[in-house]
Structure 1
Amino acid sequence: MAGTVGPVLVVVLGILAIWYVAAVALNTPFQNQIYERANLADVPLTAHLANTLAQDRPVLPAPHQVAGEIWNTTVEKKITSKRSLIYHSGITLSSTLLGFVIGTGLGVLLAIGIVHSRVLDKSLMPWVISSQTIPILAIAPMIIVVLNAIGVSGLLPKAMISTYLAFFPVTVGMVKGLRSPEVLHMDLMHTYSATRLQTFLKLRLPYAVPYLFTSMKIGMAASLVGAIVGELPTGAVAGLGARLLAGSYYGQTVQIWSALIVAAFLAGALVALIGGFEKLTLKRMGMAR
């Protein structure tokens, strides 16, 4: 319990317990209706709990139902199958990574411009912040329609939505990082007659690396959300967003929850991958053990 495994395990068990209790509470009304139609009375508590947690279309699926659906749609299905969550995850992952790369590059460039130009700082930074006040569900259909009107379809429109969500944390994080060097160190660079480029490469950029990786973690998670949201207004037939749509159309709540859990694990894996690169990079730079 002194490490990380014990506390995490306790939290997971607590979440599962609350989940089961909520599933029983939310599914009981429909189960009672089934008993009434079948003229059943005085059903034992154990049988009632088992029936409540085994409904085909429950209001809230039980954890074991979601786990079974994930197993059936990953391990027991071919990767190329349209019913495989691995296949749909790959579709969503492609637009996520493309949007993340574009958003990160755009965020870094904007941050460099804002830090080195007072004009951009005063004029551009407020627009960068205000851009995130627009709900993504409102702007996503607009992006899809505009890009389709000029003949751009497929992967890129979804990636643009991911870019929209990813560039903001990277921009803000890099601006904070590039401005984080101490005044004493900046004065020392001026004493050495260092150019702006030399100051940037040898002082500002090393200071900003930890901020960059932190913002990239946030940007990666936001990119995945953007990719899923981008699949919703297009009526996509592939991707985790398409699985969510199909599940909502046909009342398949187990399918909806399985897609959500897989999306959460995918986001966690991507963030953990960035964390691994962060440790290696900071270790090479002598900033971490």
Structure 2
Amino acid sequence: MGHFREKIWPVTAILIVLVAVWYVGAVYMNAPFQRDLNKRSGAAPGAIEFIEQTLSQPKPTVPAPHQVAVNVFENTFLRKVSSNRSLVYHSWVTLSSTVLGFAFGTALGILIAVGIVHIKALDRSVMPWIIASQTIPILAIAPMIVVVLAAINVTGIIPKALISTYLSFFPVTVGMVKGLRSPEIMHLDLMRTYNASRSQIFWKLRVPASAPFLFASMKVAIAASLVGAIVGELPTGAVAGIGSKLLAGAYYSQTIDIWAALVAGSIVAALLVTIVGIAGRLVERSMGARPS
């Protein structure tokens, strides 16, 4: 319980500071429009009333935290899950492509890492290209993937999942390579002394040693996969998903909806990272690691 308190208090303090800064920023950013509005109407509000007006605009430049919170609550708990305005519905659409892309990316990353560790030619030839591939902006790659796949009648969840795969396989590859190479030379020599085969060294030494590295990289990969799924919804003109909410909000200047969609995406990302972290701890404990 004491350990939990040590973690929760710093997070709470930072959250309070961020919300306070958010309120100040909302007042500052919304003030010019409100002054112009009051000037046109001939109103002359006091300082407190003026601040309240900047924090209650229907289409503010920067919505206040309470406006976003109300929007998230209404579109999460007061809408039918099947409603086009439900954040649960849009989050589920994005989550589907996120999980599929993450699964593809993780499998691809592990396969590439195993090849790089065991085949020196792959280490010298493939790894530089993998690193170079991540220098290309995803906003440039996403439309290309969507257009090419649409030309061969591949639409729907697959293009978004492949964009997620593109972003998620890299951290898994790098983390898994580091993990598979993490056993000390002394341990490798000991396995060879016992006449262990390459497969035995791999499964009994390298794989257990790589587990912490793998799950740490998977946390990064699942978050990147979510970003890829959202970005993948933008060039497709998707009618559902967090990306579609962002597009609709931009078209109709519904900034509160935009921020609410971003909050929904952040919550989904936090849940996914937490699930991966729990899975990592369970796997490590099953391998004999001490609980932290």
Which interval holds the TM-score relative to the shorter structure?
A: over 0.9
Which amino acid counterpart does residue 101 of structure 1 have in structure 2?
A
CA deviation vs aligned residue, 1:37-82 (integer Å, no higher than 9, x gap): 10122x1111111111000000000000000000111101000001
Deviation (angstroms), 1:116: 0.1
CA deviation vs aligned residue, 1:155-184 (integer Å, no higher than 9, x gap): 000000000000000000000000000000
Provide the rounded CA distance (Å) in 1 between the counterparts of 2:114 and 2:281: 24
Provide the rounded CA distance (Å) in 2 between the counterparts of 1:72 and 1:57: 17
In structure 1, the partner of 2:56 is 54
Q: 2:91 aligns with which of 86, 89, 92?
A: 89
Deviation (angstroms), 1:279: 1.4
Q: Percent identity?
A: 56
Which amino acid counterpart does residue 28 of structure 1 have in structure 2?
A
Provide the rounded CA distance (Å) in 2 between the counterparts of 1:5 and 1:185: 39
Q: 1:68 aligns with which of 51, 65, 70?
A: 70
TM-score normalised to structure 2 length: 0.97
Matches within 5 A, 1:1-289: 3-41=6-44, 43-289=45-291
Q: What do you get for the CA RMSD once the two structures are aligned?
A: 0.9
Provide the rounded CA distance (Å) in 2 between the counterparts of 1:105 and 1:246: 34
Q: Return 5+ residue gaps in structure 1 as ranges.
A: none
Deviation (angstroms), 1:288: 2.4
Which amino acid counterpart does residue 190 of structure 2 have in structure 1?
L
Which amino acid counterpart does residue 23 of structure 1 have in structure 2?
A
Provide the rounded CA distance (Å) in 2 between the counterparts of 1:192 and 1:136: 48
CA contact (8 A) 1:229 1:241 kept: yes
SS in 1 for 2:250: helix
CA contact (8 A) 1:114 1:175 kept: yes
Provide the rounded CA distance (Å) in 1 between the counterparts of 2:131 and 2:207: 23
CA contact (8 A) 1:279 1:288 kept: no
Provide the rounded CA distance (Å) in 2 between the counterparts of 1:274 and 1:39: 57
Deviation (angstroms), 1:6: 1.1
Deviation (angstroms), 1:287: 1.4
Q: Return 5+ residue gaps in structure 2 as ranges.
A: none
Provide the rounded CA distance (Å) in 2 between the counterparts of 1:207 and 1:45: 61
User: Following TM superposition, where does structure 1 have runs of at least 4 consecutive aligned residues deviating by more than 6 angstroms?
Assistant: none
Which amino acid counterpart does residue 134 of structure 1 have in structure 2?
I
